[in-house]
C-alpha cells in the first residue's frame, strides 16, 4: 500500500482554482520532489498534505486512513519551511525540543530525543547557542532537527535551501540525500530548482498551472518528456 495517496485533489481560493485535480501515490521511503515555476501550486499542495490548508475537493490518505479532516498534529507528518522560523529567544536544544514539550514528553525523554536528532545532523556542539549565533546552514539543520525529533512517517520540505548561498545549497543537498538514506524516511520536497529536483528525487512530479504535467524518475523525465513544457523545464537548467 502507498504511504500517502492523493486522489482528484482540488483547491480554490474564492473563484480562483489553483490546484486542478491532482492524483499522486507516494511509496514508503520514497524521495518525491514537486517541481514547477513560481505560483504553480507547489506550496498549496504541500500545505494541504500537511493539513495547513483545507482540501476543497478530493481525498488525501495516509496509509489507508482518510485524512482530509485529521488535525495536522495527528497526521504523522512534519514540515520544514523555507524561512526557518526558529524561536529567537530559545537555544538550539529548546528549539528542537519545543514540539515535544507541547506534546507533554517528560524532560529526560526530550533530552534523549534532542541528543539523537543533534547527532544525526551533527549539531551536538551547537545545542546551547541561540539562533542569532548560527550560520544559515546551521539554522537550516536546526529546523530539520525540529522535524526529525518527532519521528514522523513523512517529512515535507518547502524550498528549504532557497535562502542559502549556492555553495551551501550544494552541500545541504548532499546532506539531505544522506539524511534520507540514514532515516529511511518518506520525503516530499518542493523546489522551483530543476537541478535540485534532478539530484534529490527518486520521483519527480512536474507541476504547472495547478496540474501535474508528468510524474517519473529524473532519467525518465529527461529522456521521455511528455510535452514541451516538461522538456523545456527539465532540459534547461538555470
Ligand atoms: P508555488 O509554491 O508553486 O510558488 P503557491 O502554491 O504558493 O505556488 O500558489 C499557487 C497560486 O495560489 C498562486 O497563484 C498564489 O497566488 C495563489 N495563492 C496561494 N495562497 C493563496 C491564498 N491564501 N489566497 C489566495 N491565493 C493564494
Ligand atoms: Mg511556494
d(CA 15, CA 1): 35
Distance from C-alpha of 70 to C-alpha of 65, rounded to nearest angstrom: 9
pLDDT of res. 238: 46
Minimum mean pLDDT among 21-30, 68-77, 202-211: which range?
68-77
Q: Is the CB of 22 under 6 A from ligand 1?
A: no
Kindly indicate the confidence band of residue 236, based on its pLDDT and cuts at 50, 70 and 90: low
pLDDT digits (tens, 9 = 90+) for 45-63: 999 999 999 999 999 999 9
User: 154 by DSSP, 3-state: which?
Assistant: strand
Which residues are 163's β-sheet partners? Answer: none
User: Would you say the C-alpha torsion 182, 43, 225, 3 has a positive or negative sign?
Assistant: positive
The single residue listed with the C-alpha cell 525540529 is 146
47 CB within 6 A, ligand 1: no
Closest atom of ligand 1 to 53 CA is 23
pTM, whole model, 2 decimals?
0.93
Residue from 15, 18, 205 whose mutation best tests the ligand 1 pocket (most atoms within 8 A of CB):
18
Question: Given a cut of 80, is residue 83 above it in pLDDT?
Answer: no
**Atom of ligand 1 at shortest range from CA of 47:** 6
Altogether, the residues listed in the chain come to a count of 238
Pocket test residue of 33, 44, 205 for ligand 1, highest count of atoms within 8 A of CB: 44
* pLDDT (tens digit per residue) in 162-190: 888 888 889 889 989 998 998 899 999 99
Residue with cell 536546526: 142
Reported as a pLDDT band with limits 50, 70 and 90, residue 1 is confident
Q: List, for residues 105-161, the tens digit of each pLDDT value.
A: 999 999 999 999 999 888 999 999 999 999 988 998 999 999 999 889 999 999 988
CA angle in degrees (0–180, nearest 5) for 112-115-119: 140
Ligand with minimal distance to 38 CA: 1
State the pairing for strand pair 203-208/57-62. Answer: unpaired
Amino acid at each position: 500500500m502507498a504511504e500517502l495517496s492523493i486522489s482528484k485533489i482540488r483547491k480554490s481560493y474564492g473563484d480562483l482554482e489553483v490546484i486542478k485535480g491532482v492524483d499522486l501515490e507516494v511509496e514508503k521511503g520514497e524521495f518525491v520532489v514537486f517541481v514547477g515555476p513560481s505560483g504553480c501550486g507547489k506550496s498549496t499542495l504541500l500545505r494541504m498534505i500537511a493539513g495547513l490548508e483545507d482540501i476543497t475537493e478530493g481525498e488525501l490518505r495516509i496509509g489507508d486512513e482518510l485524512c482530509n479532516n485529521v488535525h495536522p498534529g495527528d497526521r504523522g507528518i512534519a514540515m520544514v519551511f523555507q524561512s526557518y522560523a526558529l524561536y529567537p529567544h530559545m537555544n538550539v536544544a529548546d528549539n528542537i525540543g519545543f514540539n515535544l514539550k507541547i506534546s507533554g514528553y517528560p524532560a529526560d525523554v526530550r533530552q534523549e530525543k534532542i541528543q539523537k536528532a543533534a547527532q544525526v545532523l551533527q549539531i551536538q556542539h551547537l545545542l546551547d547557542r541561540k539562533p542569532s549565533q548560527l550560520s544559515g546552514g546551521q539554522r537550516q539543520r536546526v529546523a530539520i532537527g525540529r522535524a526529525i525529533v518527532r519521528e514522523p512517517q513523512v517529512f515535507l520540505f518547502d524550498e528549504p535551501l532557497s535562502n542559502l548561498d549556492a555553495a551551501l545549497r550544494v552541500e545541504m543537498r548532499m546532506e539531505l540525500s544522506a539524511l534520507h538514506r540514514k532515516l529511511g524516511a518518506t520525503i516530499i520536497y518542493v523546489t522551483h530548482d530543476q537541478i535540485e529536483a534532478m539530484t534529490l528525487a527518486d520521483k519527480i512530479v512536474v507541476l504547472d498551472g495547478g496540474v501535474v504535467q508528468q510524474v517519473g524518475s529524473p532519467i525518465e523525465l529527461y529522456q521521455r518528456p511528455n510535452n514541451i513544457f516538461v522538456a523545456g523545464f527539465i532540459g534547461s537548467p538555470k
